[in-house]
Amino acid sequence: MRVQISIDKVRGPFVRQVEEISGQGLLDCNQCGKCSAGCPVVAAMDLLPSQVIRMAQLGMEEVLESNTIWICASCLTCVTRCPKGVDLPRLMEALRQISLRQGVAELDLGALPPELTKEVPQLAIVGGFRKYIK
């Protein structure tokens, strides 16, 4: 499918929301790719970090379906190296929040195997409940 590009998308509500929550100007990123080159967990991601910001620039909400935004460990490697001063983990956090608010990634406690609930840090489970605060 051809991605439709228009002012309603590239300057639309999704882009505005991402920019507002993350505090980042999406078009500050000139797609140099340095973030993706140095990300320590990039191997586990389905989209490169730079592709995540690219899709956000284009107003493609599908980016919320990417596992990258969840795999990002907020290690700040990319922030310290980005030539344009883009804070990518803040962007990732913004995308996670939007995704939670949309209920995209709901946590079903009952579906978790009991062995897992024992091992998983409590903080993670509490974090998972943020879905209820929309």
Partner 1 sequence: MSRIGVFICHCGINIAGTVDVERVAEEIGQHPQVAYATTYSYMCSDPGQQLVRESIAEYDLDGVVVAACSPAMHEATFRRAVAAAGLNPYRCEIANIREQCSWVHEHEPGRATQKAVETTRTCVEKVAWDEALEPFHLSVIKRALVIGGGIAGMQAALDVANAGFPVVLVEREGRLGGKMAALSGTYLNFSAAPGLLERKVEQVLDHPHIEVLAGAQVTEVEGYVGNFAVRVSALADPLEVGAIVVATGWDPYPLSRLPEYGGSELADVVDGLTFEGMLQEGRAGLGRPSDGRTPREVVFIQCAGSRDPERGVPYCSKVCCMVVAKQAIMFKEYVPEGQAYVFYIDIRSAGKGYDEYVQRAMEDHDILYLRGKVSKVFRGRDQVIVWGVDTLSGQPVEVAADLVVLATPMLPSRQAVTLGQTLRAAVDQSGFFSEAHPKLRPVESLTAGVFLAGVAQGPKDIPETVSQASGAAAKVLQMFSQEVLIQEPTVACVIEQFCSACGACVEACPYGARAIHPLWHIATVNAALCQSCGACVTACPNKACQIHNWTPKQILTMADVLVGV
Binding site for ligand SF4 (CB under 6 A): 29-35, 39, 41, 49-50, 53, 72-78, 82-84, 86, 88-89, 92
Q: Please give the Cα distance from 2 to 25 (Å, whole number).
A: 25
- For 20-52, the DSSP string reads HHH---GGG-----HHHHH-TTGGG-SS-HHHH
Contact positions with partner 1 (CB under 8 A) in 79-108: 84
Q: Please give the Cα distance from 61 to 98 (Å, whole number).
A: 10
**CA separation, residue 21 to residues 14, 17, 75, 109, 121 (Å):** 11, 6, 19, 28, 26
Nearest-approach distance from CB 113 to ligand SF4, in angstroms:
27
Q: Please give the Cα distance from 47 to 24 (Å, whole number).
A: 20
Minimum CB distance to ligand SF4 smaller for 75 or for 116:
75
Minimum CB distance to partner 1 smaller for 12 or for 127:
12
Nearest-approach distance from CB 4 to partner 1, in angstroms:
5
Binding window for partner 1 (CB under 8 A); candidates: 24-32, 38-46, 74-82, 105-113: 24-32
Nearest-approach distance from CB 50 to ligand SF4, in angstroms:
4
Which helix or strand (DSSP H or E) is residue 127 part of?
Answer: helix 122-128
Would you tell me which residues interact with partner 1 (CB under 8 A)?
Answer: 2-7, 10-11, 25, 27-28, 30-31, 50-51, 54-55, 57-58, 60, 84
